Amino acid sequence: MITQHEQLTNHIIYPETYPGFQGRTSLKYLLFLLVIFSYSSLFAIEKFYFIIRVDDIQSRTTWEPRRIIDFQEAVESRGGKISWAVIPHRLIEIQNTDGQLTRDLRESVARGHEIVLHGYNHICPTCGQSSHEMYCSSTATHHTYEVQAEMIRQGMDILWDSLQVIPRSFVPPGHQADTTTYRVLLDHDIELISTTGSTRDSMYHHLYNLAPHSEYTWTLSESEYHAKLRTALSEIESRRQSDGYYCLLLHDPFIRQGYENGRVIAWTAELLDSLRTRYGRGLAFVTLSEAAEIFNPSPVNVAHAENRIPRTPVLHPNYPNPFNPSTTLSYTIPQGGHVTLTIVDVSGKAVARLIDTYQAAGKHSYHWDGSSPDGQPLSSGVYLSVLRQGDRTVSGKIIFLK
Ligand SMILES: [Zn+2]
Ligand SMILES: [Zn+2]
């Protein structure tokens, strides 16, 4: 392809190719060409970035099969990428006891899709509803920094423990978040949020927002199938012009093959085919984080997100919990150093010191039989496991049931 610069250079070197390249008329002609080439080169380099965000992985649906790979294959075979907004707690719930979702998501990450943190368990700690979590929209209650930080930390621990992923982006459950949420996210090295409101902009300090656009596939019926396809295509075109990207929103239950025999999978595939026909090579499929890196003039998190090793010690959920007679405690430390792992009772008294030594960077585990150092079994109840390295301390709740 000839670039604008080469073409202009050619014209200047070989003016005889343009009859009448003389005097003021020719100068006007050259200026006219310059304007035309400037425009055409702008259009030539302009890309249309398309994001596919699927929320609420994994919902508690009973539709079978539960696997996400049918949808993933339909998207992948059309060059698409998916940003999975994962509810971390679902990975340790009963519907994932066979570990299938964990394996599918690990595979998905390896194939270039993204895991997005979607709260902790998607249940509001104030009112108990499952429609929101970080900010209670039912009672207009702001949760404290400590409450929100605990949810984010627990969610990140599960994602690390299950998928070895440190999320770079966050989707607030039910679109509910407040400035405390934003502070907590930044303090946990998450610098991208995808929520309603102003978009392609830093919404709080350097927390960058890429808002989702519409969802067409929530309980998509057969009679709406074609009308929604047409509406989506026209909305996508107008958003392309106004925003330079489109973020299609979907929800987990409806991307299952078992949902109405895969209607949403077929609809999405048809939409992507139409987009590829319409926009050709100008269409670029990206994940949320990739889009943020393209749009955000000052990404801060890129270097550290690359290596996917935590910057601070991480205590993973012990398993099993509650436990009897024994449980495994595991944690990851960012660099080698002196580490202590202590069991503390509810009064704050240390009842067992399990680790007190130098350890190398990486993941470590300790199998604990629930006894104190003198071999006496502890009584039933709630304890805290406390991991300390340097001036960093993290703790988790463990329950001993006799
Ligand atoms: Zn609530
Ligand atoms: Zn959700």
Distance 383 CA to ligand 2 centre (A): 31
Distance 131 CA to ligand 2 centre (A): 7
Distance CA 387, CA 363 (A): 13
Distance 149 CA to ligand 1 centre (A): 17
Distance CA 271, CA 328 (A): 47
Indicate whether 374 pLDDT > 60: yes
Contact 210, 291 (CB under 8 A): yes
Contact 381, 375 (CB under 8 A): no
Indicate whether 47 pLDDT > 50: yes
Contact 134, 65 (CB under 8 A): no
Indicate whether 211 pLDDT > 50: yes
Distance 122 CA to ligand 2 centre (A): 7
Percentage of residues of the chain with pLDDT beyond 70: 84
DSSP 141-210: EEPPHHHHHHHHHHHHHHHHHHH----SEE--GGG---HHHHHHHHHTT--EE--SSS-SEEEETTEEE-
Element housing 27 (H / E): helix 23-45
Distance CA 84, CA 288 (A): 10
- Tell me the residue type at 150: E
Least confident residue range of 163-177, 213-227, 257-271, 364-378: 364-378
H helices present in 46-175, as ranges: 69-76, 100-110, 145-163
Average pLDDT in the 73-91 region?
97
Q: Which ligand places an atom closest to the C-alpha of 132? A: 1
Length of the chain: 402
pLDDT band at 77 (very low <50, low <70, confident <90, very high): very high
Distance 173 CA to ligand 2 centre (A): 4
Q: What is the pLDDT of residues 138-193, one digit of tens each?
A: 999 999 999 999 999 999 999 999 999 999 999 999 999 999 999 999 999 999 99
Distance 394 CA to ligand 2 centre (A): 27
Q: Which ligand places an atom closest to the C-alpha of 120? A: 2
DSSP 273-342: HHHHHHHGGGEEE--HHHHHHHH-SS--SHHHHHH---SS-EEPPPBSSSBSS-EEEEEEESS-EEEEEE
Distance CA 292, CA 286 (A): 9
Angle (nearest 5°) at CA 259 between 257 and 263? 75
Distance 314 CA to ligand 2 centre (A): 25
Average pLDDT in the 289-305 region?
71
Distance 389 CA to ligand 2 centre (A): 34
- Token pair for 270: 């048809």
pLDDT of the residue at 318: 78
Distance CA 46, CA 49 (A): 10
Q: Which ligand places an atom closest to the C-alpha of 194? A: 2
Indicate whether 86 pLDDT > 80: yes
Element housing 136 (H / E): strand 135-136
Distance CA 3, CA 366 (A): 62
Query: If you average pLDDT over every residue of the chain, what do you get?
Result: 85
Contact 353, 374 (CB under 8 A): no
Percentage of residues of the chain with pLDDT beyond 90: 57
Name the DSSP letter for residue 23: H
Distance 182 CA to ligand 1 centre (A): 18
Distance 119 CA to ligand 2 centre (A): 8
- Token pair for 143: 């949760």
HSE-up of residue 102 (Cα within 13 Å, Cβ side): 19
Q: Which ligand places an atom closest to the C-alpha of 135? A: 1
Q: Which ligand places an atom closest to the C-alpha of 173? A: 2
- Tell me the residue type at 99: G
Distance 12 CA to ligand 1 centre (A): 69
- Tell me the residue type at 271: L
pLDDT of the residue at 36: 55
Collapsed DSSP state (helix, strand, coil) of residue 389 = strand
Which residue is it, tokens 């392609």?
Answer: 200
Distance 126 CA to ligand 2 centre (A): 17
- Token pair for 223: 């009679």
Least confident residue range of 135-139, 188-192, 380-384: 380-384
Contact 366, 343 (CB under 8 A): no
